Structure 1
């Protein structure tokens, strides 16, 4: 889709108060990550109730992740053509319907299909939701809106396991999905009034890139399926290697299709905007340095330090609390004149320092010893959450906001899937080779810090200031 996808027009009457739209977006953005992190807690109850096999049960989680990763970029580009609110509403309706089917599912295969549908809806929510905020707000108001976006998403991820665990223990796993459906229905009810409070856009001559979208979905399905199956089939197995080879071929075909398309689903020119690419890589570092620990540190706390699940959950608050507060703090600092680039690089530094500091963990380490590195790691995630999205979307034409949001969120979720799968596979390999769990954990922490350091250096280079004397026609978008 070309840069002429939409042209801003004067706001409609009432467009100066888009608070209801913000509330609808934030409610949906809260539910989607809560569904991602909380569903895993419900798996034992689901398996016992539905008599599901291990493979079918695992795809309750994997089906959502694969579908989300496959559709995020496509939905972002569709939103630029048919309208951001319309795509957001479609995503919310799909998610609500899928959650309802999940709550009523009588077998694991129907539940897997419903979770895949929820992933498709969740992709539309995140891509169109970020684009809505980008076009509804400007300046410091946009920074505050994206700070709330990052905070709410962090709250959803952090509270998902606790919320789901309480529901499973009290009223059963079906209520986890039923309440997700109810929340999305509330967001849908607010949308008509919210849409009237948003700036209007006139859609241009762009059309949906059906061939490019189909090839992209095939490529992403092959890649993400290979990733999630790698730890089960073996990374060197014929099936996984065949999936990866097919993904490479499909992505090569996607590039050829996009170069010839008058309205590509991904304008490859975005990838020549070095600052945009740099910002898009920041969530990748957060996936490596934070999300893997959010996923696997509880297992270390119970298996190595001897804490029970309740104590491990309380200790994990040291990792997650900064994610709740840091996005708002970052927005305030930007409003007071601190460059966004400084905060983003600080967040990457926190990820490296925090992961290295967690090497202090041992079977008998006191909470006071590990509290600081856990807080620092959480700050590394929180300082960039939301801030990166707002800054990245500010660097692209308004007509490509959906496409840009889709690209950033594709890298975000895709890197989470890769990081979690590779970490889990590496842990299993090290322990299987005779290494103690504690030694494997410490070795992998060093690897996480090293990857974050490389990504941080890459981002710093991509976000470097433009040299003086560049041509007058050279793009010089500032990082506000």
Structure 2
């Protein structure tokens, strides 16, 4: 078969799988209120519909990267597609919140393989300008998934139900499996040595991140200073320390710690972390703000989210073309960080109850441009900074930075939002609630973006008073968290990333990389 045709076929198969993953993340966020009503899930259980996927996605990304280098990138990619399709099928058929959470966790394991191995396959199969185009298309397709996820989910919810979202994920991954023969076997691969695989290191890493995630999610329910949260944080620190010790002594470590000494690679990785806190938190929680505070219908909220996500369709290709025509890739990344910060700050200033939607256009477009300019480009630059034989591990580590920070950012955002709502609404709502259990249930409903349940529980003449109280409380809490996490923390991460990736002062007679 013609080499050009097979290369295009390989690209289509990988990009289809890549498309499903971000569309699943952004689309599920829009579906959460409907899932909560249908399954009668509590706030914590409902949060785990998103967090279980994010957690396993983050935990297993690094594991799959190491597995790909040892056992074959094509083999691991196909196995990931099988796991993802199985998890999606079980999600569509779930008859309880617990089953749904577990199914989403399984899908996250598969998604980790798809991203780690898919990026590594693109990196090793394409060279030169073709490689740049492939990564630009990767960023565009990922952006397309992010962009269409909320809109498609809103349309599906209005015409079918939340289960249909997971049915189409299943169908798309079946197509990927049918097209998998188009993927070439690895050009070079270490011998398969299961006995030498760093199983203990993998387990320690997973347990450490799991302890941190549970501590964050449960912080608003147990109390941030509770013994349970403190114990989980302590466990995270101990497990992380033991993990580092294990990686230093193992013959074939899951993580080659020397990658963390690569200044430029770490700087690129922190660009993805800044994007997680600045963009992904909005992708997850802005739909609830639009529905609960601005009173938009699900379809309207999904369409409004296009302002945030549409730049993801154009900017990755634009960034690739700019670099191809001689623009410094470091300059493009710096521009992306500035756009991200400008958009978040202007959104925090401009948004308020009753505002006209046109005021959201510029802030959301700026955030989208900031995310889009770095998507794909930062992956190619990061992998270019490491040896090719460590591409799988480097891709796994890069996506671990990206996905672990996304999981932590989303969980932290939701937990702090619930905490602030509890502090601000507990007193005012106590005059309406019969007891503390009812009060806590109302606060959790509001934190999940459902203001209707508390309002419908009071007398008709008090309904509007309560609704105004809830909208004001949610709006206030949303802005505090937006400033604290999305603005200030993103600015700090962007500064550190800039310091790491900026070119050092040139030495006389020594050429410097771009």
Task: Give the deviation of 1:471 after TM superposition.
Answer: 11
Task: Summarize the alignment of residues 365-380 of structure 1 with structure 2, pairs less than 5 Å apart.
Answer: 365-380=355-370
Residues 228 and 417 of structure 1 are in contact (CA less than 8 Å); yes or no, is this contact kept in structure 2? no
Unmatched 5+ stretches in structure 2: 425-471
Residue 186 of structure 1 corresponds to: 175
Matching residue of 1:217: 206
CA offsets per residue over residues 130-186 of structure 1, 9 Å max, x none? 111111112222222112212222222232233233334433333322221111111
Say whether residues 1:328 and 2:363 are aligned partners. Answer: no
Deviation at 1:376, TM superposition (A): 1.1
User: In structure 2, what is the equivalent of residue 391 of structure 1?
Assistant: 381
Alpha carbons 1:224, 1:414 under 8 Å: kept? no
Correspondence 1:37 to 2:75: no
Greater Cα shift, 146-155 or 48-57 = 48-57
Structure 2 Cα separation of the partners of residues 67 and 477 of structure 1: 39
| Structure 1 residues 138 and 230: CA distance shift in structure 2, 3 A | farther
Contact 2:266-2:500 within 8 A present in 1 as well = yes
CA contact (8 A) 2:211 2:236 kept: yes
User: Shift in Å at residue 292 of structure 1?
Assistant: 1.6
**What residue in structure 2 maps to residue 5 of structure 1?**
none
- Structure 1 distance, partners of 2:353, 2:158, is 29
Return the offset for 1:90: 0.5
Alignment pair present for 1:463 and 2:501: yes
Query: Could you say which residue in structure 2 is the equivalent of 1:113?
Result: 102
The 1:440–1:50 alpha-carbon spacing in structure 2 relative to 1, beyond 3 Å, is closer
Structure 2 residue 402 is matched with structure 1 residue 405: no
CA–CA separation in structure 2 for the residues paired with 1:451 and 1:174: 35
CA–CA separation in structure 2 for the residues paired with 1:405 and 1:263: 17
Q: Structure 2: how far apart are the matches of 1:58 and 1:425?
A: 9
RMSD of Structure 2 on Structure 1 (CA): 2.6
Report the equivalent of 2:326.
337
Q: Specify whether residues 477 and 236 from structure 1 end up closer, same or farther in structure 2 by C-alpha distance, changes over 3 A only.
A: farther
Residues 20, 172 of structure 2: 8 Å contact kept: yes
Whole-Å Cα distance in 2 between the matches of residues 461 and 297 of structure 1?
Answer: 30
Of the structure 1 ranges 140-149 and 373-382, higher mean CA displacement relative to structure 2 is found in: 140-149
| 2:492 paired residue number | 454
Superposition map of 1:159-238 within 5 A: 159-195=148-184, 200-203=187-190, 207-238=196-227
Give the CA deviation at 1:34: 1.7
What is the TM-score with the length of structure 2 in the denominator? 0.83
Structure 2 counterparts to residues 129-168 of structure 1, below 5 A: 129-168=118-157
Question: Do the aligned partners of 1:284 and 1:411 also contact (CA within 8 Å) in 2?
Answer: yes
The whole-number CA distance in structure 1 between the counterparts of 2:414 and 2:86 is 32
Residue aligning to 2:416: 426
1:58: how far off? 3.7
Alpha carbons 1:353, 1:376 under 8 Å: kept: yes
- 3-state secondary structure, aligned to 1:236: coil
How far residue 73 of structure 1 moved from its aligned partner, in angstroms, is: 0.4
* Partner secondary structure for residue 183 of structure 2: helix
CA contact (8 A) 1:227 1:417 kept: no
Measured in 2, the distance between the counterparts of 1:54 and 1:439 equals 20
The aligned length equals 463
Report the CA distance between 1:88 and its aligned residue. 0.3
**Contact 1:143/1:331 (8 A) holds in 2:** yes
Q: Distance in 1 between matches of 2:99 and 2:287?
A: 30
Aligned to 1:121, what secondary structure does the other structure show? helix
Residue 26 of structure 1 pairs with residue 3 of structure 2 = no
- 1:423-448 per-residue CA deviation (whole Å, 9 max, x = no partner) reads 23333344444484444444444333
Q: TM-score, normalised by structure 1?
A: 0.89
Question: Is the 8 Å Cα contact of residues 146 and 387 (structure 1) preserved in structure 2?
Answer: yes
Do the aligned residues in 1 keep the contact of 2:34 with 2:162 (CA within 8 Å)? yes
Q: Does 1:362 find its partner at 2:349?
A: no
Counterpart in 1 of 2:513? 478
- Could you say which residue in structure 1 is the equivalent of 2:427? none
Larger radius of gyration: 2
Distance 1:152 1:256, change over 3 A: same
Say if 2:311 and 2:368, in contact at 8 Å, map to a contact too. Answer: yes
Q: Is the 8 A contact 2:152 2:302 kept in 1?
A: no
**Residue 112 to residue 327, structure 1, CA distance change in 2 (3 Å):** same
Residue of structure 1 in register with 2:443 after alignment: none
Aligned to 2:76: 87
